[in-house]
Structure 1
Amino acid sequence: MYSNGKNTAHSGEGRLVGNIVNTLIFTVMFAAGLYALSYWTLETAWWPTIACFALCFLAFAIPMHLMGRADSIEEAAAANAAL
């Protein structure tokens, strides 16, 4: 892809370690949410369920909504500057 006559680098180039660390963090969050369900009994159903929901929600929402937009901000800024 070209931008301003220059060949732009791939969006993930040079970010391997950061991507692996982020993947591990969110995978552990998701696994911890599932592990919280092992404490689920009829007497203590609320806390494991809330913990599972919160951890699994955060494990999916943070990468999708916050980290996923980091690569589109530069494109949006460039589009607004062109106007």
Structure 2
Amino acid sequence: MTLSGKVQEGEWSVSVQTEAAEEGGYRSTIHVRHSSPEGDFERTFRHDKPCSTEREAVLDGLREGMSWIGLKMARTIKV
């Protein structure tokens, strides 16, 4: 079974899908999106950290994506 999750508010969203990791456990693929007057920002990346359960992989992926959104909105990163 593949789990997914999504968090969205206003102009930003984070979505996550899980997949089995080669070394065992599960990894998440994270997609972040943020629209602003300066332009749209989208990034999809695979989380490095494997988790023992799909539930943990979804939650960890959502946390990682929310961290990216926080950094982008605070203008700490510019990608």
TM-score over 0.5 (shorter chain): no
**Larger strand fraction of residues:** 2
RCO higher in 1 or 2 (8 Å CA, sep ≥ 6)?
A: 2
TM score, norm. by length of structure 1: 0.32
TM-score, with length taken from structure 2: 0.33
Q: Which has the higher helix share?
A: 1
> Highest CA radius of gyration, 1 or 2?
1
